């Protein structure tokens, strides 16, 4: 079972400044439920209180490309356009706090602190997109898989056990690989003593050698 990290998100709405002028609402989505669809009007900004969300784009041939995984404390849905560019789905049962885009932007226009934080969130999103593009374009399957585990480990604040809410298919769609290729890469990291598993699902991972895992991610 996925146990969300207790580490607060870097871009949490708490203390963002919006609570002074915006009344947020909480909603809970069951596993697999859609939060918003690609091309839906961008009406809200979302913060994950518990659970996890995947955002993805549907491709013309029926495949999907996962853009990002959003975990507890993360904020998503901050789109500069009027419509969402991705679909958002709950990976597990997920509770989100949301505020309207209109109210959010109105406060940002009058509050320099909110505006600064909004720009920081936008910059962080662009940096993630650039890093993801480089990952898909340059790294081998093993390097991509190691980079993903390294990212998840850092976001979980280096806990003893890395608990992944996403499926192997989710990881494959994020890395632009097949499920079989991801499985082989994970097996190689296991055989080389970089990672180990807790339980039979292989979603509970112990990082045995963080230095070697990071070295895969840092290869050109």
- The Cα–Cα gap between 43 and 203 comes to 34
Structure tokens at 118: 């909004």
Q: What b/e readout covers 188-219, taking b as 16+ CB neighbours within 10 angstroms? A: ebeeeebbeeeeeeebbbebeeeeebbebbee
Is residue 190 situated within a structural domain? yes
CA 159-163-166 angle, to 5 degrees, is 145
Which among 72, 106, 136 is the end of a domain? 136
Contact, 24 vs 99, CB < 8 A? yes
Lowest mean pLDDT among 57-71, 95-109, 205-219: 95-109
CATH number at residue 190: 1.10.10.10
Q: What is the pLDDT of residues 137-194, one digit of tens each?
A: 778 999 999 999 998 898 877 578 899 999 999 999 999 999 999 999 999 999 999 9
- Residue 7 domain-assigned (yes or no): no
Residue 112 falls in which region: left (phi positive, over 0), alpha (psi -120 to 50) or beta: alpha
Domain assignment of residue 3, yes or no? no
Q: Is residue 105 part of a domain?
A: yes
Q: Which of 88, 106, 136 is the last residue of a domain?
A: 136
Supply the pTM of this predicted model: 0.81
- What does the pLDDT read at residue 217? 64
8 A C-beta contact, residue 57 and residue 85: yes
Say if residue 122 is in the same domain as residue 186.
no
What does the pLDDT look like over 116-137, one tens digit per residue? 776 776 677 677 777 777 777 7
- Residue 76 inside a domain? The answer is yes
Please tell me the predicted confidence (pLDDT) of residue 98: 86
Confidence of residue 218 (pLDDT cuts 50, 70, 90): low
Residues 46 and 124 in one domain: yes
Q: Is residue 186 part of a domain?
A: yes
Q: Does residue 186 sit in the same domain as residue 78?
A: no
**What is the average pLDDT across 59-67?**
88
Provide the percentage of residues in the chain whose pLDDT is more than 90: 45
Query: What distance in Å separates the CA atoms of residue 206 and residue 149, rounded to the nearest whole number?
Result: 10
Our count of domains for the chain comes to 2
Whether residue 123 is found in the same domain as residue 41? yes
**Which residues constitute the domain of residue 160?**
139-217
pLDDT in tens, 12-26: 454 444 444 455 689
22 in the same domain as 131: yes
Last residue of a domain, one of 112, 136, 160: 136
Q: What is the pLDDT of residue 75?
A: 85
Residues 144 and 115 in one domain: no
């Amino acid at each position: 079972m996925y146990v969300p990290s207790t580490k607060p998100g870097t871009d949490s709405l708490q203390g963002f400044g919006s609570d002074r002028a915006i009344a947020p609402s909480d909603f809970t989505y069951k596993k697999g439920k859609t939060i918003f669809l690609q091309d839906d009007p961008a009406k809200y900004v979302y913060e994950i209180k518990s659970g996890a969300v995947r955002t993805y784009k549907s491709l013309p041939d029926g495949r999907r490309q996962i853009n990002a995984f959003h975990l507890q404390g993360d904020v998503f849905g901050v789109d500069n356009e009027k419509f969402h560019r991705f679909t958002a789905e709950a990976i597990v049962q997920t509770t989100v706090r949301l505020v309207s885009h209109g109210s959010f932007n109105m406060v940002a226009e009058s509050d320099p602190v909110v505006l600064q934080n909004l720009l920081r969130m936008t910059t962080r999103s662009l940096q993630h997109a650039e890093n993801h593009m480089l990952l898909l374009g340059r790294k081998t399957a093993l390097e991509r898989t190691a980079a993903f585990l390294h990212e998840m480990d850092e976001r979980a604040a280096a806990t003893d056990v890395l608990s992944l809410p996403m499926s192997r298919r989710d990881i494959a769609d994020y890395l632009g690989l097949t499920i079989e290729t991801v499985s082989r890469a994970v097996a190689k990291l296991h055989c080389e003593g970089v990672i180990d598993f807790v339980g039979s699902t292989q979603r509970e991972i112990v990082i045995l050698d963080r230095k070697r895992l990071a070295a895969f991610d840092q290869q050109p």
